[in-house]
Amino acid sequence: MAGVSPSLPTALQQELLCVICEKLYSTPKVLPCLHTFCQDCLEERAKEDTTFNCPVCDTRTELTLEGVEQLPENTAILDLCDRIHNQEVMPQLVLDSDEEEESEEEERKLYMFCQTHSKEKQQLYCMQCKVPSCTECLDEIHAGHRMMSLKRALDDRKVSVATFLNRGKDLMENYCSYIQGLRETEKNLHEQKQQADNSITQAYQQMIRKLTDTKESMLKDVHEKHLQNIRAIHQTRDPLLTEVYELASACEGAQQDQDQTRPDFTIREKQLVQVVREISEKVARAPTPLPTPPLTPLTPRMEEWDM
């Protein structure tokens, strides 16, 4: 976990690392699916295509013309990362060996000897002023104040600090457990969403297959009815064509005989009269002047579309 102090709890480290580069977030950007990544990591992915899948949940993301920069920043994560970064880069005072020894000696003097009475050791602790003291200060500065030995004060302070330290660790552990629980919940939610997406896709595909089968069945039914109607038209029309031909032939023959004044005109006249009478009688016997073909309605069975 590069870039994150190992002293930080694991739960916190997990929240501060980019899953792409596995480093501390740098300019964390939030995708529409609410997952956070470094701006540089996203820009690297967007070089080939402005449309890409989220590395965590696989949700499709389509960037605008402004690119990754226009994505919102995760301000909470950014603030934490900045604070961690600032702690790590605080300037360190580099001293040579002599200066370091002098500094340690000064620190010992500052702690062991009174700042007011430089020759007096600090052996007491003022409970009212909350500061170490020497015996000379007892009369001059801390007169009438409750005092105790510095050693006892240090021991008491260790106990007090240890109490708060343990309490702080317990609180931190509880928070980390809760954060880890939230992380697990988030993971479960992603899995549930994926399952829901798969169920919807599967149901959609089943509906498409059923609709396709229904469409093909209905088209086939309409086609068969259409052929039946066309066949009925042909069966009705074909005899009529024969009768029309006989009428046309008889009329033409009689007309020619009449125009040419042929002596045998009576033969074709008789043929014409016979044809006209036969067809007229047939029409007279029919319920309608001309036969109507038995057509089947082509209205599809729309109830089959009900899912």
Instruction: For residues 229 and 68, give the distance between their C-alpha atoms in angstroms, rounded to a whole number.
Output: 64
Between the alpha carbon of residue 65 and those of residues 42, 46, 69, 85, the distances in Å are: 15, 11, 10, 32
The total number of residues shown for the chain amounts to 307
Is residue 156, in this structure, part of any structural domain at all?
yes
Q: Is residue 93 part of a domain?
A: no
Pull the structure tokens for residue 114: 């009174």
**Domain with 181 in it: what CATH number?**
3.30.160.60
- Does residue 22 fall inside a structural domain? yes
Indicate if the alpha-carbon torsion angle 8, 13, 16, 20 is positive or negative.
positive
Structure tokens at 109: 């003097």
Whether residue 162 is contained in a domain is answered as yes
Q: Which residues contact 122 (CB under 8 A, 6 or more apart)?
A: 111, 112, 113, 114, 132, 133, 134, 150
Evaluate whether residue 245 is within a structural domain. Answer: yes
At 205, list the tokens: 């595909």
Whether 5 is in a domain gets the answer no
Query: What is d(CA 99, CA 33) in angstroms, rounded to the nearest whole number?
Result: 56
Of 157, 185, 201, the domain-final residue = 201
Residue type, 306: D
211 lies in a domain? no
Using an 8 Å Cβ cutoff, are 112 and 121 in contact?
A: yes
Q: Which amino acid, one-letter code, is at 33?
A: C
Residue type, 53: N
- Quick count: other Cβ atoms within 10 Å of Cβ 261? 7
Would you write out the chain's pLDDT as a tens digit for each of its 307 residues?
455 566 678 878 888 999 999 999 999 999 999 999 999 999 998 888 889 999 998 889 999 888 999 999 999 999 999 888 877 544 333 334 454 455 445 444 445 788 888 888 888 888 889 889 888 888 888 888 989 988 888 888 888 888 888 998 899 889 989 989 998 999 999 899 889 999 999 999 999 999 999 899 999 989 999 999 899 888 888 888 888 888 888 888 878 777 776 666 677 778 888 888 888 877 776 656 666 777 777 776 666 556 5
**83: CATH:** 3.30.40.10
| Total number of domains constituting the chain | 3
* Residue 196 DSSP SS3: helix
Q: For 115, which DSSP code?
A: S
Q: Which domain holds residue 288?
A: 230-305
**Is position 106 within any domain?**
no
Partners of 36 in the β-ladder: 30
